Amino acid sequence: MPVAPAPVGAASSPAGPGAPLIDTHGRVHRDLRISLTDRCSLRCTYCMPEQGNEWLAKTSILTLDEIEAVARVAAADGITTFRLTGGEPLLRTDIVDVVRRLAAIAGPDGRPVDIAMTTNGIRLRELLPGLVDAGLNRLNISIDTLRRDRFRELTRRDRLDDVLDGIAAAAASPLRPLKLNAVAMRGVNDDELVDLVEFAVAHGAQMRFIEQMPLDAGHTWDRSSMVTQDEILGRLAERWTLTPVPGRGRAPAARWTLDGGPDTVGVIASVTAPFCGDCDRLRLTADGQLRNCLFSTTEYDLLPLLRGDAHRQAQGPVAAPDEAGIDGMLRSCVRGKLPGHAINDPSFLQPARGMNAIGG
C-alpha cells in the first residue's frame, strides 16, 4: 500500500490547527471511523478467509493514548462523530475505556463528540452496560441472516444466538437510533430481505441493506452476485408501500418509510448509486494509517508522529505525539481525496487491504 510522505508540522496545511477539514471538492469532513483491531470473532465469506489470515502485528496496533491523541486533534479540526469499528471492536480488551476517553472530548464549540459503534453483537450483552455508562451514543449491529444453518455457513461460526442476544440487549437499552446492517447477497440471503426488515421493526431498529462491495480479503468479489438497490427495493415493495425520505444529507444510507412510517428501511448503494459527492468521512486503521476513502490505494502514516521514528525502530523512549504533525497529516489526507471511488470505472483497483483491516 503506497504511503504518503509525512508533512512537516502544520506548515504543510493551507489552514492551521482548528480550521475545518475541507477537501479540494468543497466537502467538509466531520466523521472519523476508528478501527480498533483487524481481528474478528466471525469469518464472513465476503470479508475474510476462514484460515490463513495475516493479522496486524500487536506492536503496530494503536494504544488508547495514541487513539485519544489523534481524536483530540481531529475534534479540534471539526470532526464531530467517532465511529468505532474493526474487525470486531468488542474484541478490544480496553473497549469501555476507549469509549470513555473519546466521549470526554469536546469540539471547539464545547459540545461533546458523538460516539457510535459498528459491531457483530456477540459480546454486546456482556459489555453494553459499561459502554452506555462510558458514553456510547449509537449502535449499528451486523446481521445478514436469521437462519441458523445459513448463519453458520456464511460466518463459519455457530454464534447466531449470541448475536440475537446482543440485539435484544441493544433494543432494551437507551441507545437510539439502533440500526441493523445486512449485506445483500444473491443466492445467499436475498430471500430474507422482508424477514430482516420485520425483525428490525420488532426490535425498534432500522434495517439497512448494503450492496456488496469489492472489499474482501481474497479479492473474489463478483458484481453479478451483488444484489442492487433497485432489486432490494423491488423485493420490499411487494410487502410495503415505500416512500423516499427526503434530506439524506451526508448519511450513507438513503431511506424509505414503510407504509407511510414511522418505520423506515435504508439502503447503502455504494456501487449502483454512489454518494461520494456528499462524503464527509475519514478512516483511521488500527495500525495508525489515515485513509480518505474505503477504496483508497494510498495511506497516510501517523505512527511516526505518534511514537517518533526512534520508537518505531525500537531505539528509544516513546515520543510525545506531534499534534501539529497530526493536524498536518489530517489535512494532507483530506486534500488528497478524489471526487469518487470509481468502482464503475474500468481502471478501478481493489485496495490491498480487506474490509476487516480497513475498518467499516
* pLDDT tens, residue by residue, 191-216: 999 999 999 999 999 999 999 876 55
Q: What is the DSSP string of 277-294?
A: GG--EEEE-TTSEEESST
pLDDT mean over 269-290: 90
Quote the pLDDT of residue 273.
Answer: 82
Q: Are 171 and 206 in contact (CB under 8 A)?
A: no
What pLDDT shows up at residue 296? Answer: 85
Banded pLDDT at 3 (limits 50, 70, 90): low
78, three cell numbers: 471539526
In the chain, where does DSSP find H-type helix? 64-76, 95-103, 124-134, 148-155, 160-171, 193-202, 229-237, 303-312, 323-335, 355-358
- Asked whether residue 130 carries a pLDDT value surpassing 80, the answer given is yes
Q: State how far the Cα of 92 lies from the Cα of 75, in Å rounded to an integer.
A: 23
Rounded CA separation 72/99 (Å): 13
The pLDDT, as a whole number, for residue 125 is 97
- Mean pLDDT (the chain, rounded): 88
Residue 125: which of 170, 85, 158 has the closest Cα?
Answer: 170
Burial string for 88-117 (b: 16+ CB within 10 Å, else e) reads: bbbbbeebbebbbbbbebebeeeeebbbbb
Distance of alpha carbon 242 from alpha carbon 201, whole angstroms:
15
Stronger pLDDT, 136 or 3, i.e. the higher one: 136
Query: If you average pLDDT over residues 235-246, what whole number do you get?
Result: 97
Residue 246 pLDDT greater than 50, yes or no = yes
Give the confidence band of 348 by pLDDT, cuts at 50, 70, 90. Answer: low
What pLDDT shows up at residue 114? 98
Q: What is the mean pLDDT of residues 222-228?
A: 77
Q: In the prediction, which pLDDT does 150 show? A: 96
- Banded pLDDT at 7 (limits 50, 70, 90): very low
pTM for this predicted structure: 0.89
pLDDT tens per residue across span 142-201: 999 999 999 999 999 999 999 999 999 999 999 999 999 999 999 999 999 999 999 999
Report the pLDDT averaged over residues 338-358: 65
Comparing 77-81, 110-114, 341-345, the range with the smallest average pLDDT is 341-345
55-98 pLDDT, tens digit per residue, is 789 999 999 999 999 999 999 999 999 999 999 999 999 999 99
Asked if 276 and 340 touch (Cβ cutoff 8 Å), the reply is yes
Q: What is the mean pLDDT of residues 27-33?
A: 97
